[in-house]
Amino acid sequence: MEKVNLRKLLWPTPLAILAAAVVNLIWYFIAGALFPESVAAAKAVANEFSTVIATIAYWIVGLILFVVVARFSKKPITHFTWLAIAALIVSFGFPIMVANSPLPSGTTLDMTMILVLEVMHVIAAAVALPFVLKWVRE
């Protein structure tokens, strides 16, 4: 049986979310330098603001799910880790679906920008998940 202390979520969680958002923003700027045409073409829907807001919003939803899992599971860390991996895999579909949909102002996402967004999903999970799960263990 795994024990977690949900009160420990209060201070490391905002730091983990902020770290994930900052690292994603750094990746966005690196991608902009490496692939300027792709990033510029997608600026209407994938920009600095949306990068930070999406990272924060999805992590808040994830943490709400963690609290629910911790409440009802005997192995909350294990079960949440699997849930997070499943959510990460599902999240890979979002940029692909967006690429095949009409976007504001005629924006289109090329394969390079889709891969940039996919890397952002991995970064958000890789930065914040281990940090949060380390601190909630009792």
Q: How far are the Cα atoms of 20, 97, 116, 124 from residue 103, in angstroms, in the given order?
A: 26, 11, 18, 24
Domain range for 72: 6-136
Distance CA(29)–CA(34), nearest Å, equals 9
Question: What number is the average pLDDT over the span 43-57?
Answer: 90
Residue 38 lies in a domain: yes
Distance CA(91)–CA(99), nearest Å, equals 14
Phi-psi region at 106: left, alpha or beta (left = phi > 0; alpha = psi -120 to 50): left
Residue 1 lies in a domain: no
51-88: per-residue pLDDT in tens? 999 999 999 999 999 999 999 999 999 999 999 999 99
77 strand-pairing partners? none
Residue 130 CB contacts under 8 Å (≥ 6 apart), including other chains: none
Residue 115 lies in a domain: yes
Residue 106 lies in a domain: yes
93-129: per-residue pLDDT in tens? 888 887 767 777 777 788 899 999 999 999 999 998 9
Structurally, the chain folds into a number of domains equal to 1
Residue among 53, 50, 77 nearest 66 (CA): 77
Residue 24 has, within 13 A of its CA and on its CB side, a CA count of: 30
pTM of this structure: 0.85
pLDDT at 44: 82
